């Protein structure tokens, strides 16, 4: 049901039943290493190219999600998945042999929330019972598409972020399956916001206004305040983008800094890991939510969170043509024990 | 917005104000430090080139050939360090100090060649090898042709 201007209220309370995550070697050196279910020491994941590596990682992650819940592929009604590569090849090749109906998504780094949002809508409409939402990214495949060759000797901008090699998958089901689950109660699909940032190596700052817009609309539409949530988690503003978000809220005399965490800043130790402002990419919010945050929800350390995945919707082509960066943010309200 | 709502949903900032806010919050890269490191690393590469030229001259090789030997050796060293994944590390610290000398040019040709090997010899290496160095070649060659023409005019026509 639509509430307010742009928010969807889920009356059937779709539930995030289970999650699975897989990451690469660099993410395993970060502070969240112990939360990731699967990982590989090999940046190629045993494959010959980086693109194949990304597909292999996502495929392994989805298969693990299905098997650890004692399900078979034909128990899954639908997969929503997306990634950063042209034509979304990582997802298509990962899902090629699964024989599960597949809808590909592109929302840049916002893809994972877009998938969760669409999954919830399908559950609410009762057109599917068990849906997987997933997203992936790989540092090396993203670098070669968006930036310079890996071995090119250049300096990164002080505001740049490093694409996360990782993926996450969530099994979204209807709440009949269990009474005390982790529910998706509201979703606020974002509007595109563009404040004229052109710098491709400062996507955090480009996306912060989109996050502001989505949070503001979400809170107004649901009649909530920031106090309602234990945590507002954005995916992937990075350190600099998070500062910008805090600044935007400050202008409205609201302090968000105590309530806000960012997946891009959480996944790496930015002081020692040579990632400048933190992580980015579809796989960042997907892997951090599917591991650390889901774990915190399960253990009731967090009970009410607002998960906001953000996307910078430019391409190298549009940037070379002098375009600014259109940005988007989708919010999902995830809550324990809904009464 | 009505006062009943928690927040103003319109972002109350103009594009140029936001741009200023970004500049004030972004970490500045240290210009002086970058210049000094670039000067030292770039200078060392040039010294190495001069050293090779001098040794070649010692062997009684004439100046023009000695310069060529120096160039080729530096190009080889750049390519080797790129293949050993060391040049990107040097570049991270040295910036323009390792990009501008001829070793940097070598790095800019070899790095895409390594990267695009996965798409095969024609559409991978062949099509992408000059992806980074291409613009330098196009404008380098164009400007040298124009300069050569001016030189010709000055010397032989007037």
Nearest residue on chain B to A51, alpha-carbon basis: B118
How confident is residue A32, by pLDDT bands cut at 50, 70 and 90?
Answer: very high
Q: Does B13 touch chain A (CB under 8 A)?
A: yes
Residues in A touching B99 (Cβ below 8 Å): 153-154
CATH topology of domain A11-175: Peroxisomal Thiolase; Chain A, domain 1 (3.40.47)
Provide the token pair at B132. Answer: 């980074």
* Rounded Cα–Cα distance for residues A226 and A314 (Å): 30
Calculate how close chain B gets to A262, using CA atoms only, in Å. Answer: 17
By C-alpha distance, which of A337, A26, A7 is closest to A183? Answer: A337
d(CA A164, CA A250): 29
What is the extent of the structural domain holding B90? 30-132
pTM of the predicted structure, to 2 decimals? 0.92
- Asked whether A35 and A145 are in contact (CB, 8 A), the reply is no
- Put simply, the answer to whether A153 touches B104 (Cβ < 8 Å) is yes
Which tens digit of pLDDT belongs to each residue from A97-133? 999 999 999 999 999 999 999 999 999 999 999 999 9
Asked if pLDDT for residue A338 goes beyond 70, the answer is no
Contact state of A205 with B9 under an 8 Å Cβ cutoff: no
**Number of C-beta neighbours around residue B66 at 10 A:** 19
Total tally of structural domains belonging to chain B = 1
Among the listed ranges A69-83, A164-178, B57-71, which one has the minimum average pLDDT value?
A164-178
Q: For chain A, where do the domains classified as CATH 3.40.47.40 start and end? A: 11-175, 183-336
CA–CA distance, A175 with A183 (Å, rounded to integer):
8
B29-72 residue pLDDT tens: 888 999 999 999 999 999 999 999 999 999 999 999 999 999 99
d(CA B98, CA B92): 9
Nearest to A190 by CA among A136, A131, A117: A117
Q: Which residues contact B47 (CB under 8 A, 6 or more apart)?
A: none
A238-270: buried (b, 16+ CB within 10 Å) or exposed (e) per residue?
Answer: bbbbbbbbbbbbeeeebebeebbbbbbbbbbeb
Q: Over 80: is that where the pLDDT of A333 sits?
A: yes
pLDDT in tens, A264-312: 999 999 888 888 899 999 999 999 999 999 999 999 999 999 999 999 9
pLDDT digits (tens, 9 = 90+) for A302-324: 999 999 999 999 999 999 999 99
- Classify domain A183-336 by CATH number: 3.40.47.40
Please report whether residue B157 resides in a domain: no
Mind telling me how many Å the CA of B86 is from chain A's nearest CA? 8
CA distance linking residue A187 with residue A329, whole number of Å: 11
| H-run or E-run covering A17 | strand A15-23
Evaluate if residue B2 carries a pLDDT over 50.
no
Residue B157: band (very low, low, confident or very high) from pLDDT cuts 50, 70, 90: confident
Binned at pLDDT 50, 70 and 90, residue B133 comes out as very high
Do the beta carbons of residue A58 and residue A35 sit within 8 Å?
no
Would residue B91 count as lying in a domain? yes
C-alpha dihedral, A211 to A216 to A217 to A218, nearest 10°: 80
Judge whether residue B1 has pLDDT over 50.
no
Write down the mean pLDDT value for chain A.
93
Within-domain flag for B141:
no
In a domain, B62, yes or no: yes
């Amino acid at each position: 049901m639509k509430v307010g201007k742009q928010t969807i209220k889920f009356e059937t309370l779709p539930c995030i039943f289970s999650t699975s995550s897989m990451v690469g070697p660099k993410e395993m050196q970060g502070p969240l290493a112990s939360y990731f279910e699967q990982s590989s020491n090999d940046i190629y994941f045993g494959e010959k190219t980086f693109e194949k590596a990304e597909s292999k990682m996502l495929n392994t992650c989805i298969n693990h999600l299905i098997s650890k819940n004692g399900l078979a592929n034909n128990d899954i009604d639908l997969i929503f998945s997306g990634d950063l590569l042209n034509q979304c090849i990582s997802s298509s090749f990962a899902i090629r042999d699964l024989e599960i109906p597949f809808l590909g998504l592109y929302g840049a780094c916002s893809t994972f929330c877009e998938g969760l949002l669409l999954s919830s809508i399908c559950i609410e409409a009762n057109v599917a019972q068990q849906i997987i939402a997933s997203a992936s990214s790989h540092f090396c495949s993203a670098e070669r598409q968006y930036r310079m060759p890996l071995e090119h000797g250049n300096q990164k901008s002080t505001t740049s972020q490093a694409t996360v090699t990782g993926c996450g998958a969530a099994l979204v089901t209807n709440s009949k399956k269990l009474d005390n689950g982790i529910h998706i109660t509201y979703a606020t699909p974002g509007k595109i916001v563009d404040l004229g940032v052109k710098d491709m190596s400062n996507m955090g700052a480009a996306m912060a206004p989109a996050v502001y817009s989505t949070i503001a609309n979400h809170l107004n539409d649901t009649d909530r305040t920031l106090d309602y949530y234990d945590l507002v988690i954005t995916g992937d503003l990075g350190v600099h983008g998070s500062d910008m978000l805090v600044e935007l809220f400050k202008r409205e005399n609201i302090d968000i800094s105590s309530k806000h965490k960012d997946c891009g800043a959480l996944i790496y130790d930015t002081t020692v890991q040579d990632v400048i402002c933190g992580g980015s990419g579809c796989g960042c919010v997907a892997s951090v939510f599917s591991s650390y945050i889901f774990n915190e929800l399960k253990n009731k350390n967090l009970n009410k969170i607002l998960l906001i995945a953000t996307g910078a919707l430019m391409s190298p082509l549009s940037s070379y043509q002098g375009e600014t960066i259109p940005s988007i943010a989708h919010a999902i309200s995830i809550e324990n024990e809904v009464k | 917005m009505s006062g009943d709502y928690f927040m103003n949903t319109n972002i109350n900032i103009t594009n140029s104000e936001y741009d200023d806010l970004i500049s004030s919050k972004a970490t500045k890269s240290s210009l002086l430090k970058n210049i000094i490191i670039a000067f030292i690393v770039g200078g060392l590469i040039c010294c190495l080139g001069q050293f090779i030229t001098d040794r070649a001259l010692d062997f009684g090789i004439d100046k023009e050939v000695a310069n060529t030997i120096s160039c080729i050796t530096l190009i080889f060293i750049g390519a080797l360090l790129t293949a050993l994944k060391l040049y990107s590390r040097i570049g991270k610290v040295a910036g323009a100090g390792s990009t501008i000398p001829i070793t940097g040019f070598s790095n800019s040709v070899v790095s895409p060649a390594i990267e695009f090997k996965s798409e095969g010899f024609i559409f991978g290496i062949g099509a992408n090898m000059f992806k980074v160095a291409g613009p330098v070649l196009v404008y380098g060659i164009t400007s040298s042709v124009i300069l050569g023409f001016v030189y010709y005019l000055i010397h032989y026509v007037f």
